[in-house]
C-alpha cells in the first residue's frame, strides 16, 4: 500500500509543479520581454514579487534560483 501512496504522491507533486509553472508563466505574461525595472506598473511589480516568492519556496539555493529564474534580470554590464 505504501508503494501506491508513493506513486499517488509523486503524481500529485508532478501535476502541482506543472500547474504552478503554468500559473507563473501566465502571471508573467504582463511583463514585457525587454523591461526596465524603473518603468514597471504596480501590478507588474506585484507579479514579479509573487513569482520570486514562489521560486524562493521551491528552489532553496539562491545561486541556482538566480540561474534558472523565470524572471530574467539583465545587468547593464551584461547587455
3 state SS of 70: coil
Categorize the per-residue pLDDT at 79 as very low, low, confident or very high, splitting at 50, 70 and 90: very low
| pLDDT of 5 | 92
pTM of the model: 0.78
Q: Determine the average pLDDT of the residues in 21-50.
A: 90
The single residue listed with the C-alpha cell 506585484 is 46
Cβ-Cβ contacts under 8 Å for 44 (sequence gap 6 or more): 30, 31, 35
Amino acid at each position: 500500500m505504501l508503494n501506491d501512496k508513493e506513486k499517488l504522491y509523486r503524481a500529485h507533486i508532478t501535476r502541482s509543479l506543472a500547474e504552478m509553472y503554468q500559473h507563473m508563466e501566465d502571471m508573467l505574461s504582463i511583463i514585457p520581454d525587454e523591461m526596465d525595472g524603473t518603468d514597471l506598473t504596480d501590478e507588474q511589480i506585484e507579479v514579479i514579487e509573487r513569482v520570486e516568492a514562489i521560486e524562493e519556496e521551491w528552489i532553496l539555493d539562491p545561486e541556482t534560483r538566480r540561474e534558472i529564474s523565470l524572471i530574467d534580470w539583465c545587468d547593464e554590464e551584461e547587455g
